[in-house]
């Protein structure tokens, strides 16, 4: 091993790394929002009593998650290139729709984990169907699925690196740019690796500390 | 079949072959690497178990694309060797998937009830035999569905090799599109191909699971 480490060039490009980190966080947070929205719709359909919404949810989940994320991003970027969507938007749509399939399975499991008596009780109190879902089922389901959502979020942060392929200036893209500038190949890639590690570890621990998630943890400990 | 696909069929088929060979190498090497990692952690072998835990933690917090970049650009620069995209991808994919497989295997090992191990030891079986005859067969059955989930995920992730310039299915379809520009037709065909392959692997996993199922279990 005759590699001479030089960290100074990386430090000189710290503004690029900072920018990339911000875009990575923004993209994965936006994608989490999109994925959870899709997940709530599709997951609730998947937990429905009727066959038709269930079949629709199954079709969405199976056809979306068996196609690589890269193809989802290419669909918006290349397939619909006539629309000339900005790259960030293409990556956001691709990530949201792809992860939405995983979120749907998580939400479905969460909704099904709530005892049927809860919905029946709420119905007996005269709540409307959307009220039953939004006021009774979702808040309880959220607590049950918070850990799964945390791991979905860390998965999203990692998957957002694929946005670099369509030239979204996130962390991996900036690493490539800095590498081309400085030729400090090992230093720059190990730097962003450590940054991803910190980000993912922080996220997977942070969401578990949300008050809503903690309330149940305490209850389970008591039981 | 659309004309653009028919015209470029040999090229796309070569891409499909590369995708399948990438996935096969990754599946074999990744599983082979995952077994010792899972066992060392399960048996709590001092030092080795900690190293394996650090390796699993490192990989699970790092994006696949970055692992590939490390294998293709950073490691050759550090250790001063030459590599090409395909072997670098096989290395990156295997090291990546092995960490996830090792966790699934370890979960399977931990699912074997302690009482069964104690019963085996009480019957006078040596520790190695308890592991081979009692723990491993039961753990394998528990871990199987999760492992096939990883294989499907890996199959999809082989598309990332196109970023390093490997002309696998995704890469070759992007090349074809750059020449003829019919993105929707090409992407839809490629997506359908992935869908069929991934669903077949899932199905194979389910059949294997049914075949191995213990009666009454």
Beta-carbon pairs below 8 A across chains A and B: 113
pLDDT at B39: 96
Distance CA(B27)–CA(B194), nearest Å, equals 16
Determine whether the interchain pair B80/A201 forms a contact, defined as Cβ–Cβ distance below 8 Å: no
- Domain containing A85 equals 14-222
- Residue-level pLDDT at A3: 79
Residue B216 has pLDDT above 70, yes or no: no
Minimum CA–CA partner of B57 in chain A: A197
Residue A222 confidence (pLDDT):
45
Residue B170: list chain A partners with CB under 8 A.
68, 70-71, 74
pTM, to two decimals: 0.90
Residue B86 scores a pLDDT above 90: yes
What mean pLDDT do residues B163-190 have? 94
Compute the Cα dihedral for B124, B125, B126, B130 and give only its sign. negative
- What is the pLDDT, as a whole number, of residue A143? 87
CB atoms within 10 A of CB A69: 23
Q: Tell me the chain A residues in contact with residue B70 when contact means C-beta distances shorter than 8 Å.
A: 189-190, 193
Q: How far is B195 from chain A (nearest CA, A)?
A: 5
Q: Tell me whether residue A154 is in a domain.
A: yes
**Average pLDDT value for residue range B156-184:** 94
Q: Residue A60 phi/psi, 5° resolution?
A: -60, -50
Structure confidence by residue, pLDDT tens digits, B17-71: 999 999 999 999 999 999 999 999 999 999 999 999 999 999 999 999 999 999 9
Q: Which two tokens stand for residue B172?
A: 């070759």
What is the CATH number for A146? 1.10.3720.10
pLDDT digit string, tens, across residues B89-101 = 999 999 999 999 9
For chain A, which residues lie within 8 Å of any Cβ of chain B, measuring from their own Cβ? 1-3, 62-63, 66-71, 74-75, 78-81, 154, 157-162, 164-165, 172, 175-176, 179, 185-186, 189-190, 192-193, 196-197, 200-201
Mean predicted confidence (pLDDT) in B114-135: 95
Give average pLDDT by consecutive 10-residue segment, chain A, 223 residues: 82 94 96 96 94 96 96 95 93 97 96 93 94 93 89 94 95 94 90 95 79 54 44
Tell me which chain B residue has its CA closest to the CA of residue A63. Answer: B195
Structural domains of chain A, count: 1
Rounded mean pLDDT of B199-217? 87
Of B136, B69, B72, B70, nearest in space to B106 by CA: B136
Mean of the per-residue pLDDT values of chain B: 94
């Amino acid at each position: 091993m005759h590699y001479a480490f030089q960290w100074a060039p990386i430090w000189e490009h710290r503004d690029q790394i900072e920018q990339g980190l911000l875009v990575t966080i923004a993209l994965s947070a936006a994608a989490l929002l999109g994925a959870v929205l899709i997940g709530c719709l599709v997951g609730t359909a998947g937990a429905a009593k009727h066959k038709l919404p269930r079949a629709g949810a199954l079709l969405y989940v199976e056809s979306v998650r068996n196609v690589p994320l890269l193809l989802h991003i290419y669909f918006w970027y290349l397939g619909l290139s006539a629309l000339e969507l900005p790259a960030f938007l293409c990556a956001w749509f691709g990530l949201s729709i792809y992860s939405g399939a995983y979120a749907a399975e998580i939400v479905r499991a969460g909704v099904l984990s709530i005892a049927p008596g809860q919905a029946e009780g709420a119905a007996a109190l005269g709540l409307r169907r959307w009220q039953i879902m939004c006021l009774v089922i979702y808040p309880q389901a959220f607590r049950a699925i918070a850990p799964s959502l945390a791991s979905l979020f860390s998965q999203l942060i990692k998957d957002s690196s694929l946005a670099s392929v369509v030239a979204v200036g996130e962390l991996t893209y900036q690493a490539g740019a800095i590498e081309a500038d400085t030729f400090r190949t090992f230093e720059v890639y190990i730097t962003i690796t450590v940054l991803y590690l910190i980000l993912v570890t922080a996220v997977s621990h942070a969401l578990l500390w949300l008050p809503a998630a903690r309330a149940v943890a305490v209850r389970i400990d008591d039981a | 079949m659309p004309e653009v696909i028919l015209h470029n069929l040999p090229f796309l088929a070569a891409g499909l072959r590369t995708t399948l060979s990438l996935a096969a190498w990754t599946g074999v090497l990744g599983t082979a690497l995952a077994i010792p990692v899972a066992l060392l952690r399960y048996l709590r072998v001092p030092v080795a178990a900690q190293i394996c835990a650090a390796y699993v933690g490192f990989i699970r917090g790092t994006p696949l694309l970055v692992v590939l970049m490390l294998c293709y650009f950073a490691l050759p620069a550090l250790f001063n060797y030459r590599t090409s995209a395909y072997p670098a991808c096989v290395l990156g994919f295997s090291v990546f998937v092995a960490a996830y497989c090792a966790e699934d295997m370890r979960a399977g090992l931990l699912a074997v009830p302690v009482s069964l191990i104690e019963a085996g030891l009480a019957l006078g079986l040596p520790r190695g035999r308890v592991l081979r005859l009692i723990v491993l067969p039961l753990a394998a059955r528990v871990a199987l569905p999760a492992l096939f989930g990883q294989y499907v995920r890996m199959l999809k992730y082989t598309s990332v090799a196109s970023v390093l310039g490997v002309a696998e299915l995704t890469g070759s379809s992007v090349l074809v599109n750059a020449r003829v520009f019919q993105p929707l037709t090409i992407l839809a065909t490629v997506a359908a191909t992935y869908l069929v392959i991934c669903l077949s692997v899932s199905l194979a996993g389910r059949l294997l699971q049914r075949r191995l199922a213990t009666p009454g279990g």
